[in-house]
């Protein structure tokens, strides 16, 4: 599904070079649930950006299925992000003036794909929000908003779900609910990659990848 070989990421900060990733080799299999942990500055966000084709490596190879990201055109990268990858972030990024239904439908609108009402309702039922369809984000709890964000990430039927600190803004009870939802999606066949500072939740994934100073120190 995903294969990184010798991936390095270097950012320029004035005259200084910041080495965010240093020779990452990583294979993530189809329908695997992988958690990524490490201290602040370890390179977790840079790695997620590269896994999600939001950024390209300075050196090395990134394969998403049969395609190598570093050889894709910008149009192909956008297509890969829209069709193959769903994103969930610590911040929910819901549109305040749109209903739950319309927030979930939004990626399909951007993809110029008419999402059927039944599709959206099915996703909302999957995340336990079938009774919140017409609510606005401001009428929801933090856990409910994150469930809307997860449904939105699934509307274009991706194969991969990338979750960057999905429980970072939630209390223990809601963190458990969100993790349980991610686990249920994994059991449905989704490939799930989750960055988290929560070591207890991380340990319940299929595999834990530990980063330090831009390198994988345990996998």
CATH 3.30.70.330 correct for 30-56+82-218: no
What average pLDDT does the segment 35-56 reach? 96
* Phi/psi of residue 166, nearest 5 degrees: -65, -20
Q: What is the pLDDT of residues 90-145, one digit of tens each?
A: 999 999 999 999 999 999 888 877 778 899 999 999 999 999 999 999 999 999 99
Secondary element (H or E) of residue 4: strand 2-13
Q: How many residues does the chain have?
A: 219
Place of tokens 């993790």: 179
193's CB contacts (< 8 A; 6+ apart) are 2, 28, 34, 35, 36, 48, 51, 160, 161, 162, 163
Choice between 46 and 115, residue whose per-residue pLDDT is larger: 46
Q: What is the pLDDT of residues 9-20, one digit of tens each?
A: 999 888 899 999
Domain residue ranges of the chain, discontinuous segments joined by + = 30-56+82-218
Q: What is the pLDDT of residues 136-195, one digit of tens each?
A: 999 999 999 999 999 999 999 999 999 999 999 999 999 999 999 999 999 999 999 999
Whole-angstrom distance, CA of residue 132 vs CA of residue 151? 13
Extract the tokens encoding 29.
Answer: 């299999």
Q: What is the pLDDT of residue 109?
A: 85
Q: What is the pLDDT of residue 38?
A: 97
Q: What is the pLDDT of residues 52-100, one digit of tens each?
A: 999 999 999 999 989 999 999 999 999 999 889 999 999 999 999 999 9
202's CB contacts (< 8 A; 6+ apart) are 35, 37, 194, 196, 208
HSE on the CB side for 59, CA within 13 Å?
9
Whole-angstrom distance, CA of residue 201 vs CA of residue 34? 11
Strands 16-28 and 2-13: antiparallel
Extract the tokens encoding 103.
Answer: 């927030």
């Amino acid at each position: 599904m995903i294969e990184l070989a010798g991936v390095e990421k270097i950012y320029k900060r004035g005259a200084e070079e910041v080495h965010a990733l240093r020779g990452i080799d990583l294979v993530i299999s189809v329908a695997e649930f992988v958690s990524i942990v490490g201290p602040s500055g370890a390179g977790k966000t840079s790695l997620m950006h590269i896994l999600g084709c939001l950024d390209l490596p300075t050196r090395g190879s990134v394969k998403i299925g049969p395609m190598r990201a570093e050889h894709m055109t910008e149009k192909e990268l956008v297509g890969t992000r829209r069709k193959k990858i769903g994103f969930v972030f610590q911040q929910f990024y819901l549109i305040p003036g749109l209903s739950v239904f319309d927030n979930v439908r939004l990626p399909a609108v951007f993809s110029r794909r008419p999402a059927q009402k039944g599709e959206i309702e099915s996703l909302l039922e999957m995340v336990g929000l079938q009774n919140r369809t017409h609510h606005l984000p401001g009428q929801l709890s933090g856990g409910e908003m994150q469930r809307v964000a997860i449904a939105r990430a699934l509307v274009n039927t991706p194969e991969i779900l990338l979750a960057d600190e999905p429980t970072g803004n939630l209390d223990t009870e809601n963190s458990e609910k969100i993790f349980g939802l991610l686990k249920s999606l994994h059991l449905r066949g989704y490939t799930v990659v989750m960055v988290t500072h929560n070591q207890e939740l991380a340990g319940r994934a299929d595999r834990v990848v530990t980063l330090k100073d831009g390198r994988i120190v345990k996998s």
